[in-house]
Amino acid sequence: MAAKKPAQKTNTSGEELIEHYKKMLMIRRFEEKAGQLYGMGVIGGFCHLYIGQEAVVVGLEASAKEGDSRLTSYRDHAHMLACGMDPKGVMAELTGRSGGYSRGKGGSMHMFSAEKRFYGGHGIVAAQVPIGTGLAFAEKYNGTDNVSFTYFGDGAANQGQVYEAFNMASLWKLPVVFVIENNQYAMGTSLQRASSSPELHTRGHAFMIESEAVDGMDVLAVKEAGERAVAHCRAGNGPYILGVKTYRYRGHSMSDPAKYRTREEVQKVKTERDPIDHVREMLEQGKHATTEELKAIDKDIKKVVSEAADFAQTSPEPSLDELYTDILR
């Protein structure tokens, strides 16, 4: 991880920075609460937290427009919150309740929103990559200028189907932004131990796909890269790859003992490169928000998350006849 960057002066407005800050903080507080509820046994199964990676999805969502689609892996809570899905519905899905986005039948890894064009939530590593490419195929077929944001991790980047998708996306010039969220560990296997080349953004070169490496701890850098990618896709130039370097603070899932990295390594990223601290510093230095205003934001978010957690625990379990619904249309 590169050394800590000074807070930059940019053309970004204070208002926009505050929006980024709110969304990133919402994700962090939501994930912290999810971790807590998991520890209490309220959330079952697998639960993969996004803490540390917030700048990636928030930066990219800032480059999206109405009608764009997005999908990702099983580490998906943040993507839903960032595209505007209701924290209550997400949290209630984590607890397996009828108020969840999948009425309790999908769980943490399998959530969808037709309304927000969030296409999952995929539990099979890299399966979302051809599917996201297919969403882009539909955009082209229908003659829209919408794009598909297809997120996957550094682990998924070694799956064969990613390259099958790259080939078709480039061959047919499909409007898909491939976002490789490189959090540097595929479960417990570091990038160095799994990848013959650490430069994941170059993985599309053999397919003539334009790409760039992005600092995923800097929301503005992500947003700017996202805007370049999206403009490329909307103009009909085919896919674009963003190799976004980020870091996950928590374990792969809740049951991860994290023996594969040192506590010092994690601590160093937290203190030197935290994506939310970075935005807060910009806000303070640019005098876009007072300490009181930031505190108020924090309070508001805590309230929303707390309400989501209450809803997720009071929403009833799905009725038993739900067992046999939604198998076929």
Partner 1 sequence: MAIQILMPALSPTMEEGTLAKWLVKEGDTVQSGDIMAEIETDKATMEFEAVDEGVIGKILVAEGTEGVAVNTAIAVLLEDGEDASATADATPAPTEQAPVEETPTVSTPAQAIASVDIPMEDIPEGTTFTSTTVREALRDAMAEEMRANEKVFLMGEEVAQYQGAYKVSQGLLDEFGDKRVIDTPITEHGFTGLAVGAAFGGLNPIVEFMTFNFAMQAMDHIINSAAKTLYMSGGQMGCPIVFRGTNGAASRVGAQHSQCYAAWYAQIPGLKVVMPYSAADAKGLLKSAIRDPNPVIFLENEMIYGTSFDVPDLEDFTVPIGKAKIWRAGDDVTLVSFGIGMKYALEAADRLADEGISAEVIDLRSLRPIDYDTLINSVKKTNRCVTIEEGFPVASIGNHLSATIMERAFDYLDAPVINCTGKDVPMPYAANLEKLALVTTDEVMAAVKQVTYR
Question: Which parts of this chain interact with partner 1 (CB under 8 A)?
Answer: 69, 100-106, 110-114, 119-124, 127, 129-139, 141-142, 148, 160-161, 164-165, 167-168, 171, 325-329
Q: Which is nearer to partner 1, 49 or 162 (CB)?
A: 162
**Least distance from partner 1 to the Cβ atom of residue 208, Å:** 14
Strand 189-190 and strand 185-186: the pairing is antiparallel
Tokens of 185: 């560990």
Q: 114: Cβ–Cβ under 8 A, 6 or more apart, which residues?
A: none
CA distance 131 to 165: 9
Q: Which is nearer to partner 1, 164 or 212 (CB)?
A: 164
CA distance 56 to 20: 11
**Do 318 and 105 contact (CB within 8 A), yes or no?**
yes
Q: Which is nearer to partner 1, 121 or 204 (CB)?
A: 121
**Least distance from partner 1 to the Cβ atom of residue 248, Å:** 24
**Least distance from partner 1 to the Cβ atom of residue 143, Å:** 10
**Do 76 and 121 contact (CB within 8 A), yes or no?**
yes
Q: Which is nearer to partner 1, 205 or 261 (CB)?
A: 205
End-to-end CA distance of the chain: 48
Q: Which is nearer to partner 1, 142 or 197 (CB)?
A: 142
**Least distance from partner 1 to the Cβ atom of residue 94, Å:** 14
List the one residue out of 209, 248, 215 whose CA is nearest residue 229: 209
CA distance 93 to 112: 10
Q: Which is nearer to partner 1, 13 or 325 (CB)?
A: 325
Which region holds residue 116: left if phi is over 0, alpha if psi is between -120 and 50, else beta?
A: alpha
**Least distance from partner 1 to the Cβ atom of residue 85, Å:** 12
Residue 16 exposure: Cα atoms within 13 Å on the Cβ side: 12
82: Cα separation from own chain's centroid? 8
What is the enclosing helix (H) or strand (E) of 118? Answer: strand 118-121
**Do 111 and 87 contact (CB within 8 A), yes or no?**
no
**Do 261 and 190 contact (CB within 8 A), yes or no?**
yes
The 3-state secondary structure of 256-282, one letter per residue: CCCCCCCHHHHHHHHHHHCHHHHHHHH
**Least distance from partner 1 to the Cβ atom of residue 2, Å:** 35
Tokens of 228: 């370049």
**Least distance from partner 1 to the Cβ atom of residue 99, Å:** 11
Q: Which is nearer to partner 1, 46 or 260 (CB)?
A: 46
Q: Which is nearer to partner 1, 30 or 118 (CB)?
A: 118
**Least distance from partner 1 to the Cβ atom of residue 13, Å:** 34
Q: Which is nearer to partner 1, 106 or 238 (CB)?
A: 106
**Least distance from partner 1 to the Cβ atom of residue 127, Å:** 6
